[in-house]
């Protein structure tokens, strides 16, 4: 197995255990690939949900630039809903999992097809 496949397996387990979601393997793979090399960096591979600057990065670089959403209060609400689902007390929130959850939340799976 490649390192990326190992990580996708870890993300799949995280979605199942922490969110109660059975991941769409194809979508999760595409979202993981879209994260680029950040998934291999310990710091960049996770989202610090307690830091507003990190949440702004998620909003601007993923929701607006990648998914093509328009900035507005619904983006903040979506991020908060995803962080709540992933578990506010969960210290390690993988970026690929957060992006997967956001993609599904905003029904933007078509971006990755």
78/38 Cα distance (integer angstroms): 22
Range of the domain at 37: 3-112
Tens of pLDDT along 80-98? 999 999 998 888 899 999 9
Residue 1 confidence (pLDDT): 77
Q: Which residues of the chain have pLDDT under 50?
A: none
List the CATH number of the domain containing 72.
1.10.238.120
Residue 95 confidence (pLDDT): 97
Residue 89 confidence (pLDDT): 85
- pTM of this structure: 0.96
Q: How many separate domains does the chain show?
A: 1
Residue 74 confidence (pLDDT): 97
Residue 67 confidence (pLDDT): 98
């Amino acid at each position: 197995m490649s390192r990326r496949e190992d990580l996708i397996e870890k993300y799949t387990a995280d979605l199942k255990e922490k969110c109660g979601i059975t991941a769409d393997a194809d979508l999760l793979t595409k979202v993981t690939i879209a994260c680029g090399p950040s998934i291999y960096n310990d710091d960049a591979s996770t989202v610090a949900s307690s830091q507003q600057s990190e949440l702004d990065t998620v909003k601007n670089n993923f929701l607006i630039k990648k998914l093509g959403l328009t900035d507005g209060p619904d983006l903040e609400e979506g991020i908060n809903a995803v962080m709540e689902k992933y578990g506010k007390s969960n210290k390690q929130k993988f970026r690929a999992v957060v992006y997967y959850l956001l993609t599904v939340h905003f029904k933007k799976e078509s971006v990755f097809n």
